[in-house]
């Protein structure tokens, strides 16, 4: 199940929307994208705190990440699909990362939006939430509005377009493949297969 950007506005009003992903193991990324470290296998999760499917996927993905070998690097990229509301929660992710609060509040952000139904899509609301959860207000505000954070959000959206990601959550494997599946478990199983494939394709293997 994924959140489709075509139904973004309806989802903001609370509609439960999803589409069935293809059953095949992979979609080829064309052209392949460069990764930061060619010696490692790079896995990217494209996601948003605003996506209910991403919230459901979060605990499964976290457990899966913990089982990966030292040659696998997992990155998360929040996307906005061009919407200001999702741009703000993408900024939240990068701000928590910069302030050192991400590990503590990553899952809490999902719970706040989808469990407690808090509106974290505006700067004032997200700042109040962060401060209430122990983040220094001055540090959070300065970081949230910094050039560096805004640049990361723009870069994330550029990567979403380069990888041709149409819905979230999506897993990209080593700049070459998008893992598919009819459900989250199948998507992670296919990601394991694609990691093994990417490992075999590395020079010297």
In order of their start, the domains of the chain are 3-12+19-201 (3.40.30.10)
pLDDT of residue 6: 42
How crowded is the C-beta side of 7, counted as CA atoms within 13 Å? 16
Q: Can you count the helices (H) and strands (E) in the chain?
A: 8, 7
pLDDT of residue 49: 98
In this prediction the pTM is 0.88
Q: Is the pLDDT of residue 5 over 60?
A: no
pLDDT, tens only, 96-139: 999 999 999 999 999 999 999 999 999 999 999 999 999 999 99
Instruction: Provide mean pLDDT across the span 183-189.
Output: 95
CA torsion angle for 104, 107, 108, 111 (degrees, to 10)? -170
pLDDT of residue 25: 72
Residue 26's pLDDT band, with cuts at 50, 70 and 90, is confident
Q: What are the angstrom distances between the C-alpha of 108 and each of 44, 121, 188?
A: 21, 15, 23
Task: Mean pLDDT check: name the lowest of 26-30, 50-54, 143-147.
Answer: 26-30
**Nearest C-alpha neighbor of 43 from the set 174, 166, 176, 180:** 174
Q: Is the pLDDT of residue 4 over 90?
A: no
């Amino acid at each position: 199940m994924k959140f489709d950007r075509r139904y973004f506005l309806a989802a903001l009003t609370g509609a439960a929307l999803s589409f069935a992903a293809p059953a095949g193991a992979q979609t080829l990324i064309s052209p392949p994208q460069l990764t930061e470290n060619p010696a490692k296998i790079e896995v990217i999760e494209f996601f948003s705190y605003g996506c209910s499917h991403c919230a459901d996927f979060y605990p499964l993905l976290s457990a899966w990440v913990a089982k990966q070998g030292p040659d696998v690097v997992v990155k998360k990229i929040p996307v906005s699909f061009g919407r200001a509301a999702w741009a703000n929660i993408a900024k939240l992710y990068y701000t928590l990362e910069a302030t050192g609060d991400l590990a503590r509040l990553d899952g809490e952000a999902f719970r706040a939006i989808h469990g407690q139904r808090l509106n974290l899509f505006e700067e004032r609301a997200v700042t109040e939430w962060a401060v209430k959860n122990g983040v220094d207000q001055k540090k959070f505000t300065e970081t949230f509005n910094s050039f560096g954070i805004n640049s990361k959000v723009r870069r994330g959206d550029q990567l979403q377009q380069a990888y041709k990601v149409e819905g979230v959550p999506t897993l990209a494997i080593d700049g070459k493949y998008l893992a598919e599946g009819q459900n989250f478990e199948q998507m992670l199983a296919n990601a394991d297969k694609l990691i093994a494939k990417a490992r075999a394709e590395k020079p010297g293997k």
